[in-house]
Copies of this chain bind each other. A is one copy, B any other.
Amino acid sequence: MSEKIKRFILPESEIPTQWYNIQADMVNKPMPPLNPATKQPLEPKDLYPIFAEELSRQELDQKNAWIDIPEEVREMYKYYRSTPLVRAYGLEKALGTPAHIYFKNESVSPVGSHKLNSALAQAYYCKKEGITNITTETGAGQWGAALSYAAKVFGLEAAVYQVKISYNQKPYRRSIMQTFGAQVTPSPSMSTRAGKDILTKDPNNQGSLGTAISEAVELAVSTPNCKYTLGSVLSHVTLHQTVIGLEAEKQMAMAGEYPDIVIGCFGGGSNFGGISFPFMRHNILEGKKTKFIAAEPASCPKLTHGVFQYDFGDVAGYTPLLPMFTLGHNFMPANIHAGGLRYHGAGVIVSQLLKDGYMSAVDIKQIESFEAGVLFAQAEGIIPAPESCHAIAAAINEANKCKESGEEKVILFNLSGHGLIDMAAYDQFLSGSLQNYEVTDEEVAKNLSELEKII
């Protein structure tokens, strides 16, 4: 074995001091969110009832490419950042590919995923503005765990609505949130009007991110001194996650390489955007030709089978109308284990970038994702989150193409989190009882046609 450097870690002084706001550099800016009643574009102040004011401003900021990371947030980043950039020699060997595969290991965050990057920022801004309570939704629980800890750090009370199917599939994540001191409720619940409406129509509804968002928003707007926080989809969340790609850019330079392909799994877009946008900046500004691939589940394929249109971000229709690739906010995804990817729509920035050809998307079937995850685990020793397995599957596909063509491409993907809480899913896969789910264009069209009268 030769002396090869495997991990690239930045000194604390090199941790980014600013996030990158790609909106400022986009040729075609995202279309504005609309007030559903008036159909008028929203301004930041229209979002103040739901979000912290600074987050509302960040959400709609199309001017400033660089936003300072508050010192208090950066100090907390230092506990786990930079995360390592790892050269996946084990995986390369297992595949027999000439490609150079790198992954950014966000799984070493204390809460086990990249979600903490935005949770700390959101909790900080809420605290700074005098908020005492925050609410949120969570799917698999990665975001909920991160927010629960971030709330504790900044002395806030957290209430989390967890998608019911995940609440039952992954009880350990609930325990983690409770250990951090949060109140956790399975969604849909009878504790909100939105939840009651869903359950009275469909008592066995297993929930989705869309239902949980409705409940968390309702609790926030009906509680004094309380704001809602979100784990993905929105532009300010993706902004905070660019710390991943900004670090990766410096770390790739340490490795003496630059990626030909950047891959992230795709739920709402924050992990994908986080690793991609700092590199995509060079495509936009300097004409670089890096390829960006969002890896979404075949059971919830808004980028590959959805339609670009205005839609709500939640099931109940509490949110503004957003210009997004969507399957329809009434879409109920299959109960795949990658709970963090079970969302009907894509963030407005990513939607515009996909429309404009700056990126592409692939859909991955559940069994293929776990095949990739087990191969990666055996090669690299890290058991990936079911969500991250989608990125790994896409990376393996690209590496296998290199094997055929003989090309030494440089592939970078984001390992958004570990799967240690998801071992029941691995059990199912290993025992052969895991299922695939796919959505057809016809199903999407039918779903969207039912919404036409609303929006």
Contact = CB atoms under 8 A, between A and B. Distances in A.
Nearest to A172: B423
A149 B79 contact: no
Interface in A47-79: 71-72, 75, 78-79
B6 A12 contact: yes
9 contacts: A1-B71, A5-B78, A6-B78, A7-B12, A175-B426, A176-B420, A176-B423, A178-B426, A420-B421
Given A176-B426, A179-B377, A421-B423, 19 more contacts: A1-B71, A6-B12, A7-B12, A7-B78, A7-B80, A9-B9, A79-B380, A108-B108, A110-B381, A110-B382, A153-B381, A172-B172, A172-B424, A175-B423, A175-B426, A178-B426, A178-B427, A179-B374, A179-B430
Nearest to A11: B9
Contact of A175 (B4, B380, B424): B424
Contacts of A378: 149, 152, 179-181
Contact of A178 (B112, B421, B430): B430
Nearest to A428: B175
A111 interface: yes
Interface in A89-117: 90, 108, 110-112, 116
A171 interface: yes
Nearest to A378: B152
B110 A180 contact: no
A116 B172 CA distance: 24
Q: Which 9 A-B pairs have the closest CB atoms?
A: A110-B381, A172-B423, A175-B423, A110-B382, A420-B420, A6-B78, A149-B381, A1-B75, A108-B108
Contacts of A176: 383, 420, 423, 426
A86 interface: yes
Interface in A363-415: 374, 377-378, 380-383
Interface in A173-232: 175-176, 178-181
Interface residues of A, number: 46
Interface in A267-307: none
Nearest to A83: B108
Contact of A5 (B12, B108, B380, B430): B12
Contact of A1 (B3, B72, B383): B72
A93 to B, nearest CB: 11
Contacts of A421: 172, 420, 423
A105 B184 CA distance: 29
Interface in A245-285: none
Contacts of A383: 176, 179
Given A71-B1, A72-B1, A421-B420, A381 B172 contact: no
Contact of A179 (B4, B75, B175, B426): B426
A175 to B, nearest CB: 4
A207 to B, nearest CB: 21
Contact of A79 (B172, B381, B427): B381
B110 A79 contact: no
- Looking at A78, A112, A383, which has the most chain B CB atoms within 10 Å of its CB? A383
